[in-house]
Amino acid sequence: MNLRPALLFLGLVGLVPNVLAGVTINANVKEGDTISGDFTFRLTVESESLVSSCEFYVGNDLRETDDSTPYEFTIDTLAEQQGSISVTFAAYNKAGESSKKTFKLVIDNGFGMPIASHIERGNDALSHSKWDEAIAAGRVALKIDATSNAARILMARANLGKGVLDLAQKYAEDAYAAAPGDSAVQSLLSSVMLKKAFNTYSKGGDKSESIAIVKASLVKAAETRRAALQGAVDNFGPVDDSNRIKYCDVLLQAGRYSAIASELDPLFQKDMKNNSVANRYLYALLRGGKFTRAAQVLDSIKKYGAHDGYGFGLRSCYSAYFGDIRAALDAEKDAILDDPTSLGVRTAQAYLALRRADTKTANNILGNLMNAEGHSPVVNYDVCALAFLVGDYSSAQERFQTTMLAEPASYDALIERGNQSMYYSLRTDMQDDADYGKRQRALATAFFEAALAAKPESFEALTGMACAALLDGKKDEAVKFGRAAVAAGPEYAAAQWAYCAALFESGRSDDAKAAAKAAAKLDPKGLDGLSYPTPQSAWQYFYSKGRMPWLMDPGQ
């Protein structure tokens, strides 16, 4: 008997059930596989008739249905019981045929391993920009220990890298709440909040509904960074003559200008030729708006001391601020002759060029500085101001963001950006949008408020708030901020001038006259003989004449 046909027939009979089923399921797992983290099952379905849907079961629990290719189902294994698990896939076609396939798998997320190994794995993934891998490791670490700050930081950094800013903020805030004095956590939270502000701004931050998010994010970033800087001051330890200069450099970073003056005045009186003392003292006086004392110090150095390049740079900035162009140019030449490579001298040159709107010189100086110090917040701030001055508004925004990421408490940059928004609010080519100016002033106010979060006593930021309120017709608010600006910076002419405008707009002519006299006394070259300012002219004076010198620190 010939058995070949019979055997062939029997073989075909064995295949008939699969053929008749009409639906075949293939999955990216096999029996006994181990899965972990967020695992995605991917199915392919073979069917002569159109597939209508696929189902995913864990045990007998239907978790998900998918009616279009690719057929994918994701399971969060951290939410399941560790160990054995049964998953089933079912597929259906238009002909009414169906098929099911079940797998016995094992969930193992490495809970038996030390938490440090997961943190290390996550940080390694971060270093290679593998955000999802880092998040998976961080989630396991938090499952092992929900209070692990290292895991929270890992999750914040990974979500920040991935651009999931709400989650990055959550984990960063949780880490900050647990360790508010940790400088790394403070920096991380500041970075997250800045990214959130910039992301919102790029997606339409001048819209009313976005401004609150921008303001809250910038304010939080500034407050967090200010806390870190203050923490460095508080934790410095005992101060004596051996470390007083170093302590003053910490104070300088924190913007504690009055404290620096108190520390250094006795040392300056003893030795006016000590430029390490004189430069820090004079710079703190200028930054703090103590111009009368700064003039006295400059006179004392001229009589009894001897400037170095940085000191001449400070003298040139002082002279330029008060409109003495000849004295500013002479001091600038002396600064360059003494130390042309000094970062302090070069940033003083940038300040001087920007103040006189010499864009060609500013561009040459800042181009060289960007090549050498492109990471510096001072340099990026100057480039932001220059870019705006020449009408390169996108570069101005980019440099502003770079400045803030380098130093989230850069109140100078926040004030500059606030003034740029004020400029936008006065543009006449947007008159078809009745709310444009109001939205831009609201955004400017957000920047000024963030500057106050970075430095609550900033007379420049308070002046900006007064100007914004003036242009919005909020007279009482303008008077309030103008009064606060004058109290914080009684020698700051722009504050007196804005206060004068607010008083005049409020019908308080006698008080406005007194404020106008005070302003003219502070800046006789710029304001003597002028009548009461309008809201717009008060702001224009603030923006053009009120810029304070921000140089590389004397210790750099």
Task: From first to last of the 556 residues of the chain, give the pLDDT tens digit.
Answer: 444 444 343 443 333 343 445 899 999 999 999 999 899 999 999 999 999 999 999 999 999 999 998 999 999 999 999 999 999 999 999 999 999 999 999 999 999 899 999 999 999 999 999 999 999 999 999 999 999 999 999 999 999 999 999 999 999 999 999 999 898 999 999 999 999 999 988 876 567 778 999 999 999 999 999 999 999 999 999 999 999 999 999 999 999 999 999 999 999 999 999 999 999 999 999 999 999 999 999 999 999 999 999 999 999 999 999 999 999 999 999 999 999 999 999 999 999 999 999 999 999 999 999 999 999 999 999 999 999 999 999 999 999 999 999 999 999 999 999 999 999 999 877 656 778 889 999 999 999 999 999 999 999 999 999 999 999 999 999 999 999 999 999 999 999 999 999 999 999 999 999 999 999 999 999 998 888 999 999 999 999 999 999 999 997 7
Nearest to 186 by CA among 375, 409, 449, 447: 409
Look at residue 22 in the predicted model and tell me its pLDDT.
82
Look at residue 21 in the predicted model and tell me its pLDDT.
53
Task: Judge contact between 496 and 293, C-beta under 8 A.
Answer: no
State which amino acid sits at residue 50: L
Q: Which DSSP helix (H) or strand (E) runs through 160?
A: helix 149-162
Report the alpha-carbon distance of residue 308 to residue 338 in Å, rounded: 6
pTM of the model: 0.85
Tokens of 356: 């006189």
Query: Burial, 20: exposed, middle or buried (Cβ in 10 Å; 0-12, 13-18, 19+)?
Result: exposed
Query: Burial, 471: exposed, middle or buried (Cβ in 10 Å; 0-12, 13-18, 19+)?
Result: buried
Residue with tokens 């500041």: 190
Q: Which long-range contacts (CB under 8 A, 24 or more apart) does 228-237 make?
A: 228/183, 228/186, 228/187, 228/190, 229/253, 229/254, 229/255, 229/409, 230/254, 231/181, 231/183, 231/186, 232/183
Report the alpha-carbon distance of residue 545 to residue 249 in Å, rounded: 28
Terminal CA-to-CA distance of the chain, rounded, Å?
Answer: 102
Q: Which DSSP helix (H) or strand (E) runs through 188?
A: helix 183-202
Look at residue 432 in the predicted model and tell me its pLDDT.
65
Q: Which domains does the chain have, with CATH numbers?
A: 25-107 (2.60.40.10), 115-205+212-232 (1.25.40.10), 409-556 (1.25.40.10)
Task: Judge contact between 64 and 136, C-beta under 8 A.
Answer: no
Q: In what order do the strands lie in the sheet with 61-66?
A: 34-35, 98-107, 83-93, 51-58, 61-66
Look at residue 205 in the predicted model and tell me its pLDDT.
57
Task: Judge contact between 141 and 114, C-beta under 8 A.
Answer: no
